[in-house]
Amino acid sequence: MKLIAKTLYGLENILANELTGLGAKDVRPVNRAVVFEGDQSILYKVNYCSRTAMSVLMEIAEFRIRSSDDLHKNSLRIDWKKYLDPDRTFSVVPVIHSPLFSHTGYAGLLLKDAVADWFVQKTGRRPSVSTSNPDIVFNLHISNQQVTVSIDSSVIPLYKRGYRREQGLAPMNEVLAAGIVLLSGWDGTTALLDPMCGSGTIPVEAALIASGIPPGRYRNYFGFQKWMDYNEELFNSIVEECEAAVKKPDLNITCSDISETAVSLAKLNIASAGLSDRISVVQNDFRDLKPEANSGFIIMNPPYGERMKQSESENLYNMIGSTFKHNFPGYKAFLITSDKEALKQIGLKYKEKVTLYNGSLECILVKYELYEGSRKKHGP
């Protein structure tokens, strides 16, 4: 069956590698998603194990239309009893990029009507629509005249892992945090420091990756568990297989922040994830931190955007650059920010950059290779 895993911009290739490793076939990255082929077991496994998928859709119909009426007519040809019955509730999530529809909601309404009309014709009863807690979620994607109807196997987005108990002012999306760790190439064998950890998302995701802990472990629900063909025995066997691969490596992960509140939040979330024995948490100013090893990785998400005035940002980034140069020779540093002007204050030339999005903010992830006597060069 044809499956689509949605992700964040810039993480498509990371997700494609993940899916290939999980056994997916015909893997093809597209914009903010990866298309692939897989059976029911792959669908379950990707939901349970993928770190960089936001949701997983199963395509159920594809057709072309020339008018809005065509959407309703073609939708009536779908065998809806495979996916729904009159006793279950459903909703439709429309994603519309077509001149045929001036209002996204209208296209969604047409599909809802087609589903209801189909059941009335076949059974004399209609399933109810629920916007708050639907049993089944259909995704309607229209690009010009091309229509794709899918069913959402995740429903609750996969970045909502389930371990987060509290969050700070601007928490990082768990999928983004995992993607950054995977982009960095950190493999768990060297030290890892997040010196501005906030609620601890980057260290938690890093520890999950290094330990082989599936992110689905903390969730109590996936959308496919309400599907007509849900195979509980198969899903349980996949969970057992994935959990059997979990390991407990000797990790050197440090989670630090200058804020007492942030440190408390991080400790709470790390404990909730069962990782208190794998991540060290300290309250400290980054400029006062000293490396515990001769080499390692720094991955950080300093404040940026509306959280900071420009002058404050420039002073902060100047301090970050100075600390990189003087305290962490031999390390590789990865920093994500939307503030390209403040980034110049670091005073080091980055070796690589990747464009990512943190929510609606366009950001860049930059890599610095630090060494003794780092020379000051221009930034971006």
Q: Which long-range contacts (CB under 8 A, 24 or more apart) does 67-70 make?
A: 67/100, 68/100, 68/101, 68/106, 68/107, 68/110
Per-residue pLDDT at 124 exceeds 60: yes
pLDDT higher than threshold 70 for residue 332: yes
Cβ-in-10-Å burial (0-12, 13-18, 19+) of 169 comes to: exposed
Enumerate the β-bridge partners of residue 115.
none
Sign of the alpha-carbon torsion through 268, 269, 273, 275: negative
**What's the pLDDT score for residue 379?**
47
Residue 172 has pLDDT above 70, yes or no: yes
pLDDT tens readout for residues 140-171: 999 999 999 999 999 999 999 999 987 766 67
Report the percentage of the chain scoring pLDDT > 70.
96
N-terminal to C-terminal alpha carbon distance within the chain: 44
The answer to whether 163 and 204 are in contact (CB under 8 A) is yes
Q: Check: CB of residue 211 under 8 Å from CB of residue 45.
A: no
Q: How far is CA 55 from CA 5, 157, 178, 260, in A?
A: 6, 6, 15, 34
pLDDT at 212 over 80: yes
Burial of 244 (0-12, 13-18, 19+ CB in 10 A): exposed
357-374 tens-digit pLDDT: 988 889 999 999 998 754
Q: What are the pLDDT digits (tens) for 185-206? A: 999 999 999 999 999 999 999 9
- Helix (H), strand (E) at residue 275: none
The stretch 124-142 carries a mean pLDDT of 96
Region 318-345 average pLDDT: 95
Q: In terms of residues, how long is the chain? A: 380
pLDDT at 168: 66
Predicted confidence at residue 380, as pLDDT, reads 44
Q: Which pLDDT belongs to residue 378?
A: 41
pTM (whole model) above 0.85:
yes
